Amino acid sequence: LNELDDAEIDVIDPSLPPLLRGHPDIHLRSGVIKASRLAAQSEHNAEKAFFVADLGQVYRQHQRWKRFLPGIEPFYAVKCNPDPFVLRLLAALGAGFDCASSGEISQVLQIGGVDPSKIIFANPCKATSFIRNAAKSGVDMMTFDNGDELYKIARVHPKARLVIRILTDDSKSLCRLGLKFGAPLVTVPGLLRKAKELGLNVVGVSFHVGSGCYDSNAFSDAIMRARSAFDMGKEAGYDFTVLDVGGGFEDGNFETNASVLSSAIDRYFPVRESIRIIAEPGRFYVSKAFRLAANIIARRAPMGDCSDQRSDVDSSQPTVMYYINDGVYGAFNCILFDHQVVHPYVLSMGGSFHLPSPVILRASSVWGPTCDSIDCVCPVTQLPAQLSVGDWLAFENMGAYTICAASQFNGFEISSVIYTDGGGSGSAEVRRALGRG
**Alpha-carbon separation of residue 96 from 89, 90, 93, 352 (angstroms):** 11, 8, 9, 44
What's the chain's length in residues? 437
**Alpha-carbon separation of residue 372 from 259, 367, 409, 410 (angstroms):** 45, 10, 10, 9
Q: With contacts defined by CB under 6 A, name the span among 207-215, 304-312, 333-341, 388-396 that binds ligand PLP.
A: 207-215
Q: Which residue in 27, 60, 208, 288 binds ligand PLP (CB under 6 A)?
A: 208
Q: With contacts defined by CB under 6 A, name the span among 26-34, 262-270, 277-285, 319-327 that binds ligand PLP.
A: 277-285
Burial class of residue 241, CB neighbours in 10 A (0-12, 13-18, 19+): middle
By beta-carbon proximity to ligand PLP, the closer residue of 54 and 104 is 104
Q: Which residue in 24, 281, 399, 426 binds ligand PLP (CB under 6 A)?
A: 281
> CA–CA separation, 382 vs 148, rounded Å?
53
By beta-carbon proximity to ligand PLP, the closer residue of 142 and 200 is 142
Q: Which residue in 57, 168, 211, 216 binds ligand PLP (CB under 6 A)?
A: 211
Burial class of residue 357, CB neighbours in 10 A (0-12, 13-18, 19+): exposed
Binding mask 350-379 for ligand PLP (x = CB under 6 A): ------------------------------
**Residue at 258: amino acid letter:** A
By beta-carbon proximity to ligand PLP, the closer residue of 53 and 383 is 53
Number of H helices, E strands in the chain: 15, 20
By beta-carbon proximity to ligand PLP, the closer residue of 246 and 344 is 246
65 is an interface residue for ligand PLP by CB under 6 A:
no
Question: What do you get for the CA distance between the two ends of the chain, in Å?
Answer: 12
Catalytic-residue membership of 371:
yes
Minimum distance from CB of 284 to ligand PLP (Å)?
A: 6
- Total residues contacting ligand PLP by CB under 6 A comes to 17
Q: Which of 113, 101, 68, 54 is nearest to 423 (CA)?
A: 54
Task: Concatenate the DSSP letters of all residues of 309-372 into one string.
Answer: --TTS-TTS--EEEEES--TTTTTHHHHHS-----EEEEEBTTBSSPPSSPPEEEEEEE-SSS-
Q: With contacts defined by CB under 6 A, name the span among 276-284, 343-351, 372-380, 407-415 that binds ligand PLP.
A: 276-284
Per annotation, catalytic residue among 371, 376, 378, 404: 371
Minimum distance from CB of 367 to ligand PLP (Å)?
A: 27
248 is an interface residue for ligand PLP by CB under 6 A:
yes
By beta-carbon proximity to ligand PLP, the closer residue of 96 and 281 is 281
257 is an interface residue for ligand PLP by CB under 6 A:
no
177 is an interface residue for ligand PLP by CB under 6 A:
yes
Supply φ then ψ for residue 50, to 5 degrees.
-150, 150
Strand partners, 294: 393
Q: Which of residues 75-104 bind ligand PLP (CB under 6 A)?
A: 77, 80, 98
282 is an interface residue for ligand PLP by CB under 6 A:
yes
For the chain, the helix, strand and coil percentages under 3-state DSSP, each to the nearest 5:
35, 25, 40
> CA–CA separation, 59 vs 314, rounded Å?
46
Measured from each CB, the residue nearest to ligand PLP is 247
Most distant CA pair in the chain, distance: 79
By beta-carbon proximity to ligand PLP, the closer residue of 9 and 404 is 404
Binding-site ranges for ligand PLP (CB under 6 A): 77, 80, 98, 122, 177, 208, 211-212, 246-249, 280-284
Residues serving a catalytic function are 371
